[in-house]
Structure 1
Amino acid sequence: MKEIQAFAKQYQQEMGWNINADNYEKSRASLLNNYMLLTTEVAEVAEELRKAFNKTNECIRNGIDEETSFRLAKESIKEDLGKEFADCLAYIVKISNFFEIDLDKSFYSKMEEVKNRKNKDISVKTNK
């Protein structure tokens, strides 16, 4: 993740896409704009999932079994879904870099916190 953060920082500078740090009001406006763009990209992830579900249902209606239908649908959105995840990651990294957050450290720390939660989701199925 450190490499991605360093790449993104340089890339955003080259493209002139840095979050404005001139003063509070400009930073606030720039952060809100980037947050809005991030949420737009998250919605585009949802749209790709919707496409996969619709494609699965269409295939099932055409007589293809459910597992094959879903596999075909996943393949049909894989490339575009990857692009949408990349867009989301770019905005997350951009905002993280602005706040000088080490995403590696934050990610692993959060996963450890989740693992040790008392009130975590459980599944009826067990993985053996």
Structure 2
Amino acid sequence: MRDIQAFLSNFQKEMNWEISDDNYKESKASILHNYMLLTTEVSEVAEEFRAIFNKTYKLAVDEGMDEDRAFEMAKSVHKENIGKELSDCIAYLVKFANYLDIDLEESFYQKMEEIKLRVNKDQR
């Protein structure tokens, strides 16, 4: 994760895509703009999953394919696009972490340990 954060820090500078840090108003506008872009990317992930479900339905119902096989086929068709959209999401999340000097790797493992130790966690 640290490699990704370093890469994206340099990439964002190179592309002039950094969150503004000039003053409060510009920072606020830049953060909100980037948040809007992140939510757009998250919705694009949802659209890809919707396409998978629609493709599965079409293959299973309209073409008589076994539903599990249809689902696997539909996932393979959309796998690359979902990867791209998830990567866009990661880029925006990392941009926020970099802006706030958050070590995402450390933060991630701390959060997972916190979840693991919860008393009221769901059991399966």
Q: Which TM-score applies when normalising by structure 1?
A: 0.94
Structure 1 residue aligned with 2:117 = 116
1:122, distance to aligned residue in structure 2 (A): 2.5
Residues 34-113 of structure 1 correspond to what in structure 2 (within 5 A)? Answer: 34-61=34-61, 62-113=63-114
User: What CA distance in whole angstroms lies between the structure 2 residues aligned with 1:122 and 1:81?
Assistant: 29
- Give unmatched runs, 5+ long, in structure 1: 124-128
Question: Which amino acid counterpart does residue 96 of structure 2 have in structure 1?
Answer: I
Structure 2 residue aligned with 1:27 = 27
Aligned residues: 123
| 3-state secondary structure, aligned to 1:19 | coil
Q: Can you list the C-alpha shifts for 1:87-127, whole angstroms capped at 9, x where unaligned?
A: 0000000010000000000100111111111222232xxxx
User: What CA distance in whole angstroms lies between the structure 2 residues aligned with 1:116 and 1:54?
Assistant: 39
User: What CA distance in whole angstroms lies between the structure 2 residues aligned with 1:77 and 1:21?
Assistant: 37
Question: Which amino acid counterpart does residue 86 of structure 1 have in structure 2?
Answer: S
Question: Which amino acid counterpart does residue 60 of structure 2 have in structure 1?
Answer: I
Q: Can you list the C-alpha shifts for 1:56-79, whole angstroms capped at 9, x where unaligned?
A: 111111111011011001001100
